[in-house]
Amino acid sequence: MTRPATELLYDSEASLRLVDSALRELHVHGSAIETATSALTNQMGNLSALSRTLFAAYAETAALLHRIRESRGVLERTSVVRLQQMNDKLREVSSATEVAATDILNGLDRAVGMVGELEAAESAGAERRAEIRSQLQDELYGVMVHLQFQDITAQQLTYASSVIHEMEQRLSELVECFAPFALELDPAAAHAAVPTSAPTTFDPAATTSNAAERQAVADEIFRKTA
């Protein structure tokens, strides 16, 4: 079906009027659109800079994580065993101290008993008194011999101290990883905890245990090689 020409002309005119109205409106808001477009362009520039910053931060974070993983690996590999050994040493110090204290107290108890015997033996012969005095001297000497635990536990504690010192150094290296990110650590405070004169002479395997067995091994070696 075809429309009459007058009707088509009427519709075309109406459409042109609408376009004209739209153009007028666009002209009125043109400056605002221009401003918005300009702001959007600026924002796009900022977004680009932000993207670059985020990428750089990502690279630094990845490097940091890599170093932390490396440090963690070193700590795991070298430290766990030593910390376990240190724990064993500290337990042994506690045990050796208790054993020595008990032995010393037992010795002193016996010595006190002998002093009583000595007093009671006033009327006894000189020979008996001399015998008790000799026993008393042996007992007191035995107390002194028990004090050897001090030298051995001192070495065990020095070993434990050396392990702690080593852990401090490793943790300090780990903390250094964060230095570029300005954690504001006070270097003087960080190093204050590290002993400057860590003992250097000790036997890491020093022990109060199995003295007779260890002596037998030494005797055997000397018999064969000396």
Partner 1 sequence: MKFLVVDDSVTMRRIIVNSLQRIGYDSVVEAADGQEALGKFDGSVEFIITDWNMPNMSGIDFARAVRKLPAGAKIPILMVTTRSVREDIVTAVEAGVNNYVLKPFTPQVLKEKIDQVLSAVSAAAA
Tell me which of 2, 6, 123, 200 binds partner 1, using CB under 8 A: 200
SS3 for 211? helix
Tell me which of 16, 22, 112, 221 binds partner 1, using CB under 8 A: 221
- Report CA dihedral (65, 70, 73, 77) to the nearest 10 degrees: -160
Q: How far apart are CA 140 and CA 108, in angstroms?
A: 7
Q: Is 207 in the site for partner 1 (CB under 8 A)?
A: yes
Residue 116, amino acid: G
* Shorter beta-carbon distance to partner 1: residue 68 or 217: 217
Q: Which stretch binds partner 1 (CB under 8 A): 22-30, 51-59, 178-186, 196-204?
A: 196-204
Sign of dihedral through CA atoms 174, 179, 182, 183? positive
Tell me which of 107, 150, 173, 185 binds partner 1, using CB under 8 A: 150
Q: Is 203 in the site for partner 1 (CB under 8 A)?
A: yes
CA distances from 159 to 91, 109, 164, 202, 223 (A): 13, 34, 9, 7, 31
Q: Is 148 in the site for partner 1 (CB under 8 A)?
A: yes
Number of residues that bind partner 1 (CB under 8 A): 29
| Shortest Å distance, C-beta 160 to partner 1 | 15
Cβ atoms of 225 and 200 within 8 Å: the answer is: no
List residues binding partner 1 (CB under 8 A): 141, 144-145, 147-152, 154-155, 200-203, 205-208, 211, 214-215, 217-219, 221-222, 225-226
